[in-house]
With several copies, the nearest count.
Chain A
Amino acid sequence: MQYTFIEILRRALDEELARDPAVHLLGEDVAAGGAFGVTKGLAQKHGTARVRNTPISEAAITGLATGAALCGLKPVLEIMFMDFATLSMDCLVNQTAKYRYMSGGQLAVPLVVRTQAGAAGGAAAQHSQSLEAWFIHVPGLIVVAPSTPAEAYGLLKSSIRLGEPVLFIEHKRLYTMKEELPEDAELPPIGRARIARPGTDVTLIAYSAMVHTALEAAQVLADAGISAEVIDLRTLLPLDMPTIAASVAKTHRALVAHEAVRNGGLGAEIAARIGSELFDELDGPVQRVGCPFAPIPFAPELERALLPGSADIVRAVREELRR
Chain B
Amino acid sequence: MTEPTLADWKQMYGALWRIRLFEGHVQRLAAAGEIPGFPHLSTGQEAVAVGVCTQLEREDVLFTSHRGHGHVLAKGSDMQATFAEILGRQTGLCGGRGGSMHLVDAANGVLGATGVVAGNLALAAGAAWAAQAQGKKNISVVFFGDGATGAGAFHETLNLAALWRLPVLFVCENNGVAEFTSREEHSNVKYVSSFAAPYDIATKTIDGNDLPTVWAAAHEAIEAVRHGAGPYLLECMTFRMAGHYVGDSQQYRSKEELAEIREKCPIERLKRVLVARGVEAEELDAIAELSKNDVQQAVERARAAPRPDPTTVMDYVYRAPTLAAIPG
A interface, CB within 8 angstroms of B: 24, 28-29, 31-33, 35, 49-50, 52-73, 75, 83-84, 87, 90-91, 94-95, 99-108, 121-127, 139-140, 142, 163-164, 190-191, 237-239, 241, 261-263, 273, 291-295, 297-306
Contact = CB atoms under 8 A, between A and B. Distances in A.
Contacts of B328: 139, 261-263, 291-294
B99 A122 contact: yes
Interface in B301-323: 307-319, 323
Nearest to B166: A64
Contacts of A61: 122, 160
A55 B156 contact: yes
B151 interface: yes
Contacts of A52: 164
21 contacts: A31-B181, A55-B159, A57-B152, A57-B159, A60-B122, A60-B157, A63-B121, A63-B153, A64-B126, A67-B111, A68-B127, A69-B126, A102-B104, A103-B106, A107-B112, A126-B119, A140-B318, A190-B323, A302-B97, A305-B310, A305-B311
A121 B313 CA distance: 15
Interface residues of B, number: 85
A127 B313 CA distance: 18
A28 B96 CA distance: 30
Contacts of B134: 71-73
B7 interface: no
A68 B98 contact: no
Interface string B181-209: 10001110000000000000000000000
A75 B178 CA distance: 23
Given A63-B153, A70-B111, A102 B319 contact: no
Given A104-B96, A238-B325, A68 B129 contact: yes
Contact of A302 (B96, B106, B163, B252): B96
Given A55-B186, A105-B316, A262-B328, A142 B153 contact: no
Contacts of B315: 105
A24, A49, A63, A273 pick with most chain B CB within 10 angstroms: A63
Given A60-B152, A68-B127, 15 more contacts: A50-B133, A55-B163, A55-B187, A56-B118, A64-B125, A64-B129, A65-B126, A66-B122, A67-B123, A90-B119, A103-B104, A104-B92, A125-B97, A126-B115, A292-B328
Nearest to A69: B126
A285 to B, nearest CB: 16
Given A29-B180, A56-B150, A127-B115, A298 B327 contact: no
B318 A100 contact: yes
A94 B151 CA distance: 16
B102 A94 contact: no
B228 interface: no
Contacts of B88: 122, 298-302
B231 to A, nearest CB: 13
Q: Chain A CB within 10 Å — which of B106, B153, B313 has the most?
A: B313
A124 B41 CA distance: 17
B218 interface: no
A55 B147 CA distance: 7
B267 interface: no
B243 to A, nearest CB: 12
A108 B96 CA distance: 17
B131 interface: yes
Nearest to A26: B129
A107 B111 contact: yes
The 6 A-B pairs at the shortest CB distance, nearest first, are namely A293-B328, A122-B36, A67-B126, A63-B122, A298-B99, A55-B150
Interface in B130-165: 130-131, 133-134, 140, 147-148, 150-153, 156-157, 159-160, 163-164
B263 interface: no
Contacts of B157: 60, 63-64
B323 A299 contact: no
B323 A142 contact: yes
A73 B133 contact: yes
Contact of A102 (B97, B128, B313, B323): B97
B24 interface: no
Contacts of A69: 126
